[in-house]
Structure 1
Amino acid sequence: MPLSTDDKTNDTAANLVKGLKGAFGTPPGYRPAHAKGTLVTGTFTPTAVAGTLSKAKHFNDSSTPITVRFSNSTGIPVIPDTDANASPRGLGIRFHLGGRSHTDIITHSTPFFPVRTGEDFLAFLGALGGGTIQEFLGTHPETLAFVQAPKPTADSFVGLSYFGVNAFKFVSADGKGTFVRYRVVPTVDTTTLIAEELATKGPEFLFEELKESLGAGPVEMKLLAQIAEEGDVTNDATVHWPEDRKVEELGTLKLEALEEPDKNKADQKYIIYDPVPRVDGVESSDDPLIDMRASIYLISGRERRAAPP
């Protein structure tokens, strides 16, 4: 996973990592965003449709091992699950393709994203820290939409829907390109908690529920792709595609077990989820945020790995 070839992107990414850590007081060894999380192992089984859309290995093999990370928002590793700032939740998926090869998908429990570029994100952080956030929101309606968007908390991590805000290009075996956005949806009954219900929960209730559920057996979620049509925007994560766009099921994520505590802690420090697909059959779109996010994750990941045990 290399840094961007664009020095400006890397400089902005480094400043964003520094700004996020400063905003949350993130201790060494943790992510500057979505610091509190846990890893789950499992298996991905694709549908036949997935193989027609993309020639990627994980969409054509009978099954692929996966490592999934559920997380809370912010760079605070002890943020209570009940804290409003812990939403949106995060879901990262790593598909292990053999050897050291892998490809990842990164999603959040809201289809909204606050900014289009890394530079805008840096300005957003500056406005938050400098007390000028209202002025910033007044000139950035896409950020205001993110702030105002519902960020529901369900009674479980696996009861939420997760959205990939960036567009990617699937390439089929015969060379056909299809732009998509990922979604992950639950197969279990979902209960959205209102404020009064959330107030009765403990600070670790989502992580405890996940452990209890997996202790009773595997839990499944579905990986979907929203299909773009001609003219749909592919270079702006703040622009939504119409809800009447076709949605195809790509496969089943079978979540089987939490990693053991010591391995979980060590692997979370080491693993760097990558927004760039880096697999034949899936390509980045022209969204500038993809390259920026990749640099942010790599820079913060290197710092995390270098931190004392």
Structure 2
Amino acid sequence: MQPFHVKLSLFTTACLMVGSMFAAPIANAAERTIAELVDAVNGTPDAASREAGKKVKLRNHTKGFCTSGYFAPNPKLHDSLNIPFFNQNPIKVTARFSLGGTNPKLSDKTPGRFMSLKIDGDKENLNFVTTNVPIFFASNLDDFFTFQTKVKQGAEGKQWLIDNKPDAKAFFNYLTQQPPSPSFANSRYFGVNSFLFTDKQNNSIAGKWIFEPVAGTAALSASELANLGDDFLKAELLQRINTQPAQWDLYIQLAEQGDEINNPTVLWPENRQRILVGKVVIDGKRDSDPQVQQCDKSIFNPLLLPKGIAASDDPILNARTAAYVESFIRRQ
């Protein structure tokens, strides 16, 4: 149980982080407030459902668990980029693996996989929020709201999105071609939003995060799925790291002239140049640390960035922190 004074401190910090954002509309999307976006994700469109959601601490990515490891930067990274954060080694990692949605009993047989990371250095921090689907379903907050509202309506709402929202249709098409993986360790993870990275000449270059599994990707066949229960992913990963770590190589995929930087629904070509940033190693050795045990009670803030990395103008990216904090406060 988290001590009251720690909870109060977290609550106060969260409030200061967001300020008046909860009541005010986000720029470029004046028709939607952060509170409305969180309601759309949670399926709480009115006061009664919102209060009911608070009582059960409703949140996205409800089904998930925390573990730990470290990050080993590529020693040659400084030949390409000027990001002092990566000059230390190793850097401790707190990880949360999850499924999407607010259903705590969602089957692991569904294709979605998510990995969030806190990489905590000596003086700076870097957080990641990633998914195994490289494209997002909305390019702006109004379409995000519409998507989340319609999917809560079931098959009819999904069909409406397919018929009326090309970005949502592309997202669903990708999902239908994505078989479930047997392990979180066998999934690629993508940061769908772009960031700006400082190169050695102190110029800004746009790029996206990509995590490639060292163990390789794998997919479950129909017969393998039939022999599995609905809750195999957590046990599989924790058992796996008892004998050998789960590992991912982290890359930055660089944009080229003409690539859309601020639209997360656009998939850049696979042949774009990549820079190896380093390796994520999940070994569970810090799982007894309070920070790891309490990671479900915190947020993973993708805008918590070290010197040399800045946010792009992607409206989806720039709404994330305020939405995560709003959701966090509702769960207190």
**Shared fold (TM-score greater than 0.5)?**
yes
Of 66, 71, 95, 1:39 maps to 66
Of 25, 38, 42, 1:8 maps to 25
Q: Does 1:278 align with 2:293?
A: no
Residues 1:116 and 1:188: Cα distance change in structure 2 (over 3 Å):
same
Partners of 2:326 and 2:92 lie apart in 1 by: 26
- Deviation of 1:233 after TM superposition, in Å, equals 0.8
- Deviation of 1:290 after TM superposition, in Å, equals 0.8
Residue of structure 2 equivalent to 1:93: 117
- Deviation of 1:259 after TM superposition, in Å, equals 6.0
Residues 212-232 of structure 1, C-alpha deviations (whole Å, 9 max, x = no match): 111113222111111111221
Residues 1:133 and 1:78: Cα distance change in structure 2 (over 3 Å):
closer
Partners of 1:162 and 1:33 lie apart in 2 by: 18
State the one-letter code of the partner of 2:102.
Answer: G
Residue of structure 1 equivalent to 2:276: 249
Residues 1:168 and 1:28: Cα distance change in structure 2 (over 3 Å):
farther
Residues 1:285 and 1:262: Cα distance change in structure 2 (over 3 Å):
closer
Residues 26-105 of structure 1 mapped to structure 2, 5 A cutoff: 28=55, 30=57, 32-82=59-109, 84=110, 87-98=111-122, 101-105=124-128
Contact persistence 2:34–2:319 (CA under 8 A): yes
Q: Does 1:146 align with 2:161?
A: no
TM-score (norm 2): 0.82
Residues 1:117 and 1:193: Cα distance change in structure 2 (over 3 Å):
same
Partners of 2:285 and 2:98 lie apart in 1 by: 13
Residues 127-138 of structure 1 mapped to structure 2, 5 A cutoff: 127-129=150-152, 131-138=156-163
Residues 1:116 and 1:189: Cα distance change in structure 2 (over 3 Å):
closer
Contact persistence 1:157–1:210 (CA under 8 A): yes
Structure showing greater radius of gyration is 2
Residues 117-136 of structure 1, C-alpha deviations (whole Å, 9 max, x = no match): 12111112333345454333
- Deviation of 1:81 after TM superposition, in Å, equals 1.1
Residue of structure 2 equivalent to 1:209: 236
State the one-letter code of the partner of 2:164.
Answer: T
Partners of 2:157 and 2:65 lie apart in 1 by: 35
Residues 173-252 of structure 1 mapped to structure 2, 5 A cutoff: 173-252=200-279
Residue of structure 1 equivalent to 2:134: 111
Contact persistence 2:139–2:316 (CA under 8 A): yes
- Deviation of 1:4 after TM superposition, in Å, equals 7.5
Greater mean deviation of Cα atoms: 179-188 or 122-131: 122-131
Percent identical among aligned pairs is: 26
Contact persistence 1:71–1:91 (CA under 8 A): yes
- Deviation of 1:270 after TM superposition, in Å, equals 1.9
Greater mean deviation of Cα atoms: 176-185 or 266-275: 266-275
Contact persistence 2:94–2:292 (CA under 8 A): no
Residues 1:280 and 1:5: Cα distance change in structure 2 (over 3 Å):
farther
List gaps (5 residues or longer) in structure 2: 1-13
Contact persistence 1:68–1:93 (CA under 8 A): yes
- Deviation of 1:300 after TM superposition, in Å, equals 0.8
Greater mean deviation of Cα atoms: 137-146 or 186-195: 186-195
Residues 1:299 and 1:46: Cα distance change in structure 2 (over 3 Å):
same
Residues 158-177 of structure 1, C-alpha deviations (whole Å, 9 max, x = no match): 11101110000111354122
Greater mean deviation of Cα atoms: 29-38 or 281-290: 29-38
Residues 206-249 of structure 1, C-alpha deviations (whole Å, 9 max, x = no match): 11111111111322211111111122110100011112111222
Greater mean deviation of Cα atoms: 275-284 or 52-61: 52-61
Partners of 1:276 and 1:124 lie apart in 2 by: 23
Residues 1:247 and 1:260: Cα distance change in structure 2 (over 3 Å):
closer
Secondary structure of the 2:283 match is strand
State the one-letter code of the partner of 1:88.
Answer: G
Greater mean deviation of Cα atoms: 16-25 or 175-184: 16-25
Partners of 2:210 and 2:57 lie apart in 1 by: 26
